[in-house]
Amino acid sequence: MPKASHPSSRPFHHPQPEVPLYCGEVSLEALTRRFGTPLYVYSADQIVERLQMFKDALAGRDSLVCYAVKANSALAILKLLANRGAGFDIVSGGELERVLAAAPEAAERVVFSGVGKTAEEIDRALQAGILAFNVESEAELQLLAKHAAKLKRVARFALRVNPDVFAETHPYISTGLREHKFGIDIRQAAALYEGAAGNRWLEPHGVSVHIGSQIRSAEPFGAALDRVYKLVKQLAKKGIAIHSIDAGGGLGIDYHAGKSDPAARVREYAAAVDKALAGFEGKLLLEPGRFLVAQAGALVTRVLNVKQNGRKTFVIVDAAMNDLIRPALYQAHHEIVPVRPREGRQKTVDVVGPVCESGDFFARDRKLAPIEAGDLIALLDAGAYGMAQASNYNTRVRPAEVLVEGKKARLIRRRETIADLLAPEIL
């Protein structure tokens, strides 16, 4: 099969008419014959391409892209990004262990975010020598100081300030308003920095902000960073030098069909950041997650049967809400495409899984080409918050994961077995 050209927004495509769906240069049909279904498939080439978009757009600024591990924590993906100079944004001790397992040399490029860090997690991160802690409360700053002194290690920190900037997104993933659990009121931050400046075990290294996820406009990012930079200049007047600004993540993608230009979106984002931080000469940290991996991934599932209930047609597949919970949790939209399309008129159907919940659905009242039992379909844009949020509900094993790079595909996580699920339990 000759190398196919395809838009950078999604790597899943039909190279030629009458040819089944491919990821890059690898057939999804062939992958399911090798690894079964449900199956997560990721494009390494697109993940690398998306990382490079940020590097290109910010080429004139000292910056570090810290991938948000929570989006997809597969060790192979972490290693792929680490090998290309990425840092990592973590929100738990478990995510730190994943980074250390995949790329121990990347510890110095890790920022530790999260509203509820434990003492044990702080100790481990201090011992690992991470870049910085994004501190979310005065109590956490005191805990960090205590444990840094105990271990005799200087803790670099940034206060995660809450700029009270509204970002139009799902309420579950909006984080920049005062009523949210995240961050410190930006009006209180200066006093906390002043208090920490006299502690020999604390280094006020940066200021951090994160206003939410799946944000489609660059304007809220610019507004938030404008307020952050005012704080940085206020601190400088008090003799507190800030060496980095962490702009967080949250840049959104287009989950619907249609052409999009992700590189243009990154350039627009970078322009808003540059404008807000004009004159700042320290390091800029970014924490993209979804934007790097979401459209690089798909969940491939097989149709078990097609069922008619009154006026409703249900396409029942072997994947379920435990494999991809976003539609049930957020009412999120994922494009659904047949791996091998059939001729015929579209029909309105619900695509559902076998879990014993009415909320176990991937699409409701969706117009799709004809589908029959045994067909394969792909749920697109599933590379972020898919496998990362998967569970074993209904005692279902989680899917296998495959990473495609050029003409090669390799298994990066085997399918779980029932023995795996039962192993921790005691009769």
The residue from 59, 139, 278, 356 that is catalytic is 356
Task: Reply yes or no on whether 356 is catalytic.
Answer: yes
Q: How far apart are CA 241 and CA 207, in angstroms?
A: 11
Omega within 30 of 0 (cis) for the link into 370 = no
The answer to whether 258 touches 37, Cβ cutoff 8 Å, is: no
CA atoms within 13 A on the CB side of 277: 29
Q: How far apart are CA 87 and CA 162, in angstroms?
A: 23
3-state secondary structure labels for all residues of the chain? CCCCCCCCCCCEECCCCCCCCEECCEEHHHHHHHHCCCEEEEEHHHHHHHHHHHHHHCCCCCEEEEEEHHHCCCHHHHHHHHCCCCEEEECCHHHHHHHHHHCHHHHHHEEECCCCCCHHHHHHHHHHCCCEEEECCHHHHHHHHHHHHHHCCCEEEEEEEECCCCCCCCHHHECCCCCCCCCEEHHHHHHHHHHHHCCCCEEEEEEECCCECCECCCHHHHHHHHHHHHHHHHHHHCCCCCCEEECCCCECCCCCCCCCCHHHHHHHHHHHHHHHCCCCCCEEEECCCHHHHHHHEEEEEEEEEEEEECCEEEEEECCCCCCCCHHHHHCCCCCEEECCCCCCCCEEEEEECCCCCCCCEEEEEEEECCCCCCCEEEEECCCCCCHHHCCCHHHCCCCEEEEEECCEEEEEECCCCHHHHHCCCCC
Strands 336-338 and 312-317: unpaired
Active site residue ranges: 356
